[in-house]
Amino acid sequence: MPQYICSQCNKEYDTITADGFCTNQPECEFGTGWLREKGSAKSADDSGLTPLEFGNEAGLCILMMDGSFSMNEPAFPESDYPGTRYKLVAMNAAGGIWSLKSMTHRESAYLALAVFGGEPKLVSIKSVEDIFKEHDTPEALADSIQKTLENETPDARFTNINSAVQLAYEIKQAFIGGDLSGFGGPTDFKPVIHPVVRGSEEREEFIDIPNVRALIYTDGEHNVTSAIKNPFAGDEQSVLITAFIGEKDAKGVSQMQGLACTCPKHGPANGFFLIDSPERVQTLRGIFRMASGASGFCSACLHVEQKGLEITEPESDLEEAGESGAGPAETGVDSENPSDKEESIVDTPAPQSETSSSQGT
Ligand SMILES: [Zn+2]
Ligand SMILES: [Zn+2]
């Protein structure tokens, strides 16, 4: 008689797995399912998790990841979620990146991986293609991200948001300048620029948005003496997405909220995400995917993507902006409901899907 059941795919297990997570890949998307004692809690519907066909972009994502010691605590202590915050972010960063596997031009989509504690450290700038070459599975990628967080975070007793955001900004600027060689990245490339209609109550305007996103998350708060500064705020359009892992009344929440960009399509909705319960694990993975694919900014953007994925999220106060006013249907991701599609900020996604989970071996 099975004792455990996966929270995501409902696969039953007689004994718990080594790390408490579901091992039923590829049917169960890596990192999303964990084992619950049978009958103890509701299981999510098996909702046909199909990786999003992303839009083939040359571009850059800067992942600025908090690796401070507090990340070693249980991610959601009130729940049956079996991982630490390190594990939570490593698995979902890996899962989010992995869902870009089917995008074309993977060789020109770059990922800058950086960790921070009291100081930030850029670990690498690599193309998504190279990341896939170096890691055979999302599990291997998650392991390597987790080891990086645990072992390479400078000054892990502290959380210095300012220096982390500043480094992310400098990398972003170098990308826009077409030369990342100062950071050990590529040179002589042209950043892709997307014209986007930014709408507001009073007017619409055309702005150019470079195909770059910076994502910073923390589970703490800025705890060095200087006040929070945000160099992204001086840009025509900020590309800084932020997330907080922890309780919603923590001090770090308002700090991260204040740093987040305003979405050019869904403003005043902004690019802040709160990860405060196991139900938000899908959201976390979605943010990593959205940032890595440089495809969106806010929870409404993510909502549109997840509709394409047929993922139904539990009720979420973060999605209040997502129900209204999607832009003109123009391009995109396969969706059950074309009227909900919006103009993609990235290039038209490729229709091909050779690596989608539908291959289902
Ligand atoms: Zn599963
Ligand atoms: Zn948006």
Q: Tell me which amino acid residue 289 is.
A: R
Could you report the predicted ipTM of this complex, rounded to two decimals?
0.77
pLDDT at 58: 65
Ligand 2 geometric centre to CA of 320 (Å): 11
Q: Which ligand lies nearest the alpha carbon of 26?
A: 1
Pairwise CA distance, residues 91 & 130, whole Å = 19
Distance 322 CA to ligand 2 centre (A): 8
Point out the ligand nearest to the CA of residue 198: 2
Same domain, 39 and 143: no
| Structural domain boundaries, residue 250 | 59-350
**36 C-alpha to center of ligand 1: Å?**
10
The ligand that comes nearest to the alpha carbon of residue 241 is: 2
337 has a pLDDT exceeding 70: no
Q: Are residues 194 and 84 in the same domain?
A: yes
- The mean pLDDT value of the chain amounts to 82
**Separation of 116 CA from ligand 2 center, angstroms?**
27
Per-residue pLDDT tens over the stretch 30-71: 888 999 988 764 433 333 333 333 334 469 999 999 999 999
Q: What is the rounded distance in angstroms from the CA atom of residue 292 to the CA atom of residue 134? A: 17
Q: How far apart are CA 216 and CA 167, in angstroms?
A: 11
How many Å lie between the centroid of ligand 2 and the Cα of residue 221?
25
Q: What angle do CA 88, 149, 7 make, to 5 degrees?
A: 10
* Of 47, 45, 46, 33, residue with least CA distance to 81: 33
Residue 360 lies in a domain: no
Q: Which ligand is nearest to the CA of 264?
A: 2
Asked if residue 253 and residue 190 are part of one domain, the reply reads yes
The owner of tokens 């170098």 is 174
CA of 300 to the centre of ligand 2 (A): 5
> Are 174 and 31 members of one domain?
no
Return the bridge partners of 34, or none.
21
Is the residue at 68 inside a domain?
yes
Q: Which has more pLDDT, 81 or 198?
A: 81
**C-alpha dist (Å) from residue 355 to 5, 105, 308, 345, 358:** 27, 14, 16, 23, 8
Let me know if residue 23 belongs to a domain: yes
Residue 207, strand partner residues: 196
Q: How far apart are CA 124 and CA 36, in angstroms?
A: 36
**Which is nearest to 302 in space by CA: 96, 76, 121, 71?**
96
Ligand nearest the Cα of residue 196 is 2
Domain count, the chain: 2
Q: From the CA of 308, how far away is ligand 1's center (Å)?
A: 21
| DSSP reduced 3-state for 260 | coil
- The answer to whether residue 35 sits within a structural domain is yes
Per-residue pLDDT tens for 122-152? 999 999 999 999 999 999 999 999 999 999 9
* 146 in the same domain as 30: no
User: pLDDT tens digits, residue range 256-299?
Assistant: 999 999 999 998 999 999 999 999 999 999 999 999 988 899 99
